[in-house]
Chains A and B, each alone.
Chain A
Amino acid sequence: AIQLTQSPSSLSASVGDRVTITCRASQGIRSDIAWYQQKAGRAPRLLIYDASSLQSGVPSRFSGSGSGTDFTLTISSLQPEDFATYYCQQFKSYPWTFGQGTKVEIK
């Protein structure tokens, strides 16, 4: 199975900060990766797909990049509603796998 390792596991940041989360795959997955945001008690919400495509309705401060094994999710200017846990997921091959998550907390 393809393993996805996110870093950091958690981070503290302030409103307005630029935040970058990394996802590393154990083998090449082209650009077959998506990013989700999950708030406590809620279902995940799709942010980015195909490594860099912004899902409709998602604010443009969210962006994704990367291909092969290394991917990043960037929030250009953190907003109060962005404090949540973020997950990457690969669709390259079964079993589809998720990263362990990155919790973004208020500093």
Chain B
Amino acid sequence: EVQLVESGGGLVQPGGSLRLSCAASGFTFSNYWMSWVRQAPGKGLEWVANIKQDGSEKYYVDSVKGRFTISRDNAKNSLYLQMNSLRAEDTAVYYCARPYCIGGACYNFDYWGQGTLVTVSS
């Protein structure tokens, strides 16, 4: 059974940093792209970042470029999101998600974690 379990969320002051983790199991982690998706309270979904299987390609939504860094450790079956210079508008539930990609094209997020809440407030 595929499982994605996020951790690391919490309350942080504006300008602060936080590192999210996602522990993956039930599939060969190193074979898949991975993503972070967030959802502000009462709002819709927003894709945040992607990382290729070997970490050689990374993509970000413009609003987090230069502040967030996605990374992975295939030996530990883990995905990370380092978030720096946090702003109130980064407050959201952050989901780890697995995109289903074949031959350079992606088609969906077929598995999601339960999410971890990040609150940026003084």
Residues of A within 8 A of B (CB): 1, 32, 34, 36, 38, 43-46, 49-50, 55, 87, 89, 91, 94-101
Contact = CB atoms under 8 A, between A and B. Distances in A.
A50 B45 contact: no
Contacts of B46: 98
A36 B47 CA distance: 14
Interface stretch (B20-28, B71-79, B81-89, B107-115): B107-115
Contacts of A32: 105, 107
A49 B53 CA distance: 21
B3 to A, nearest CB: 12
Interface residues of B, number: 22
Interface string B55-77: 00001111000000000000000
A34 B107 contact: yes
B94 to A, nearest CB: 11
Nearest to A87: B45
Contact of A55 (B47, B110, B113): B110
Interface centre among B45, B46, B110, B114 (most CB of A within 10 A): B45
A91 B108 contact: yes
B44 A101 contact: yes
B59 A91 contact: no
Contacts of A91: 99, 105-108
Given A43-B95, A43-B115, A96 B47 contact: yes
A100 B44 contact: yes
A54 B6 CA distance: 27
Q: Which 8 A-B pairs have the closest CB atoms?
A: A49-B108, A43-B112, A34-B108, A96-B47, A98-B45, A49-B107, A95-B61, A101-B44
A50 B107 contact: yes
A74 B29 CA distance: 34
A36 to B, nearest CB: 8
Interface centre among B47, B61, B108, B115 (most CB of A within 10 A): B108
